[in-house]
Structure 1
């Protein structure tokens, strides 16, 4: 039986048992498995990995392990350019889009509130989530770490936090999204873009009391939902501030 020495860095340690976190450990194997298979056998989904160094050299997922190899595994780099190395995902995500699983309804809504493109359906099955991620180049956000081991996936992230506000902060931090936040630019119901409309064009859809004092309205270009700055606006604005201000709950 052959042996290789592994070490996982940063949040990849979340997938490991305590005794293997933040330290080197020995992995025993038969034959010459692909390093991707070894990483997932150790519990880490391949979509969470962005860089693998074997004996100091960057390698692809298909690299075959050999006896005595020393393997260092790093998570996704969104704010650091590692282009000279063998990056394992297609390209940096400067215009990110997401698809969220059924456990992340509130997170999807918050991300839409912040201006991000998020697909979410409450009855979506795993197969649809994977197909949508692959077909549209969306990052699959999930609470199911096993789903991220699907062989077809190239982009995905296991959301660690339990509370929606903390989840939103986690995603923003993980994908370096702070500079891309555009509150109130997308529909909370479907994620479509919002555009200003003339009051007279939608007057029949506005409650009379609202129409009497408010002049500005926006409408979703995808589903047609109409929005205005009513009493709910203050609550949503507070939620945005809460997400973007660490330490506030």
Structure 2
């Protein structure tokens, strides 16, 4: 079958995903076999479907299953912010891949249900995300392109502060600081000092009176040397959610 050419206008926020030769090309012209769906065409350019918002053909919204006509001009937009989630995924719970350990701890600090392991392969991550109705966060674009994945998001930045801001702006989750274990994600509950005093270093026992314990792994917490830094992370997160939504980060 003779191939036709499609004309696509890719939103600036999504051009990072394109091959380098196409990132500054607008509009973008790409071959089309006449049978592939629009969703397949866009994904074949390197844009994960989890990052694709509304698709437009000649200004009219269409589904990813739309079969485009070569005469149509296609607009590809990013997901809106905050992003609506599939039924069962709201409020969001997260699953993070091996490269996002610091982000996982910060999400837990904010009270967000966040599972993280450094030994899970891609098929296992997708199954767990789907089975537990979690949003899979990753920097691996190929992982987000897996057809079975129901909800996921690409983490654009290397720096944990920027990663956290990106997640908060995209999903606007309700926060409950100091309620989850940073180590295992279990719930925290207050514990009387007398009950744990025998397990504490002498300096800690003499200095602090307020303690919390993880109900799952029994890790103990108290307002130690890093408390002010952690408190500032919480303040910044709350300010991010209170601010007007911003555009998706570009590169």
**Do both proteins adopt the same fold according to a TM-score greater than 0.5, normalized to the shorter chain?**
yes
Is it true that 1:54 corresponds to 2:84 in the alignment?
no
Answer yes or no: is the 8 Å Cα contact 1:40–1:149 preserved in 2.
yes
1:67 Cα deviation from its structure 2 partner:
2.4
Cross-structure match for 2:143: 147
Instruction: Find 2:131's aligned residue among 131, 135, 151.
Output: 135
1:123 Cα deviation from its structure 2 partner:
1.3
Answer yes or no: is the 8 Å Cα contact 1:7–1:24 preserved in 2.
yes
TM-score by length of 2: 0.82
Give per-residue Cα distances to partners, 1:125-159, cap 9 Å, x unaligned. Answer: 11111111111221111111111110111211221
CA distance, structure 2, for counterparts of residue 163 and residue 35 of structure 1: 34
Aligned to 2:231, what secondary structure does the other structure show? Answer: helix
Identify which range, 127-136 or 23-32, moves more after superposition.
Answer: 23-32
CA distance, structure 1, for counterparts of residue 93 and residue 66 of structure 2: 30
Identify which range, 94-103 or 17-26, moves more after superposition.
Answer: 17-26
Over the aligned positions, Cα root-mean-square deviation in angstroms equals: 2.6
In structure 1, stretches of 5+ residues that fail to align are: 82-88
Following superposition of structure 1 onto structure 2, how do residues 66-81 of structure 1 map, counting pairs within 5 Å? 66-79=69-82
Q: How many residues align?
A: 237
Cross-structure match for 2:169: 173
Cross-structure match for 1:13: 15
Q: Which runs of 4 or more aligned residues in structure 1 lie more than 6 Å from their structure 2 counterparts after TM superposition?
A: 242-246
Cross-structure match for 2:6: 4
Instruction: Find 1:96's aligned residue among 92, 95, 119.
Output: 92
TM-score by length of 1: 0.82
Cross-structure match for 1:202: 196
Is it true that 1:44 corresponds to 2:47 in the alignment?
yes
* CA 1:208–1:197: 2 relative to 1, 3 Å: same
* CA 1:125–1:6: 2 relative to 1, 3 Å: same
